Structure 1
Amino acid sequence: MAEQDLNNRSNTIPIIGSEFVRPQPSDLTIVGDTVKDANGNKVFKVKTPLFGLHNKRILLDPNDSPIVTMKMKVTSKHDRWQVYRGGDLDDKIFTVKRSSSVQLKTRVEVFLKHNQTKEASCDFTIKGRFMKRACTIYVGDSTKVIAQVHEGDERLVATVYPNVDCAFIVTLIFIFDLINMAGTGV
């Protein structure tokens, strides 16, 4: 982690909600569908509904209340996922898609609600590798890192930089993993 990025507290990034933003770096551990903080407390869980026409996941808080719904667009050649607030599929927050249909390294672009009609330049970028389950999340096409993920012993470990929405990052991690699984034919 770059020292200057850790100390840059002037830019808060609350995409899903300010209640998920911490002023210090947050280390999260993801095992299966459960996300825990550094103290071992469950902070999020991802639920896969049993029935439905669309491939979707729901990010839940520790009380099992829906935070966001992630829904894959079935007819997309770029593995496009749309993310909605809570369980309401009318309140879209952002869209995530693979930057091109053929890639050696995974590059995924994130477009916030205000930027979804043009998609001229992305708001966030996720770069990583298929097999390593590791990625780095950047602001737009810049080199400003807001989170990093690496694979540990049968788990993913994420470091979310200060003033960044942890629910947003966790949502991106799960979508990135699902896109990687689709790209490998799993």
Structure 2
Amino acid sequence: MATGDEMIKVVGDRYCVPYTMELVVKKKIQSFSNSHYDVFDTTGNILLRVDGSVWDLQRRRVMTDPAGFAIVTLREKQPIPWKGEWQIHEGESSNSNHFLFRVRRSSGFHFKSNLDVYVGSRCKKGAGDFRVTGSIASLSIKVRRGNSIIAEVSHNYTWKSYKGKESFKVKVYPEVDYAFIVALLVIMHENENV
């Protein structure tokens, strides 16, 4: 569970709600060149979208609200999958003034792609501010802050997964930034599908 009543906002406090948020994330390859994620609440309302090119060597994904306004941009810093680092900025900026957080693989060669998350400009070796454990292949991911689980993801693996259509169930605990959690899910999925 999340840590006490403390709000965990990374992308923005408007993505933090006082109750457990259940989300459905649907990913599909729209064409030979684009991947697309739609994020819905349990009533089917679209909350977020994430788009990006499949063939872009410098992988870039833009998260937007339902009206199409950019919330954050996720960019892979190094195109080498086992050393992958992603940097996340507000809107479509790459300016250091709009930098929010970075995500790095915990280590190079593991069956589980654990990720360390560093908020702000802080980025030292060792433990990050958050840790993502598990893998898409194991059908389960957990996002932790210290020893507390702040979100859980399960992969709904079906025959459609082979056709480029995948679905995830996401449980985000109260007062945790769900846009931040969706960004981590996208990065984990992109890292595992290189």
Q: Same fold (TM over 0.5)?
A: yes
The structure 2 residue matched to 1:34, chosen from 34, 38, 63, is 38
Instruction: For 2:189, give the aligned amino acid.
Output: D
Distance 1:85 1:119, change over 3 A: farther
Partner of 1:17: 12
Q: What CA distance in whole angstroms lies between the structure 2 residues aligned with 1:114 and 1:55?
A: 21
Q: What CA distance in whole angstroms lies between the structure 2 residues aligned with 1:151 and 1:175?
A: 14
Query: Within the alignment, does 1:83 sit opposite 2:95 as a pair?
Result: no
Partner of 1:112: 119
Query: Within the alignment, does 1:74 sit opposite 2:84 as a pair?
Result: no
Q: What CA distance in whole angstroms lies between the structure 1 residues aligned with 2:103 and 2:40?
A: 24
Contact 2:136–2:155 (CA<8 Å) still a contact in 1? no
Contact 1:9–1:163 (CA<8 Å) still a contact in 2? no
Query: Within the alignment, does 1:122 sit opposite 2:131 as a pair?
Result: no
Q: What CA distance in whole angstroms lies between the structure 1 residues aligned with 2:133 and 2:100?
A: 21
Taking only the aligned residue pairs, the percentage that are identical comes to 26
Aligned-residue offset at 1:127:
0.3
How does the TM-score come out when normalised to structure 1?
0.86
Aligned-residue offset at 1:64:
0.7
Corresponding pairs, count? 174
Partner of 1:62: 66
Query: Within the alignment, does 1:101 sit opposite 2:125 as a pair?
Result: no
Aligned-residue offset at 1:114:
3.7
Partner of 1:135: 141
Partner of 1:159: 171
Instruction: For 2:143, give the aligned amino acid.
Output: I
Contact 1:54–1:74 (CA<8 Å) still a contact in 2? yes
Q: Which has the higher strand share?
A: 2
Q: What CA distance in whole angstroms lies between the structure 1 residues aligned with 2:12 and 2:114?
A: 25
Summarize deviations over 1:97-148 as a string: whole Å, max 9, x none.
11111112221110111412x3443000000135134200000xx2200000
How does the TM-score come out when normalised to structure 2?
0.83
Structure 2 portions without partners, runs of 5+? 28-36, 159-165
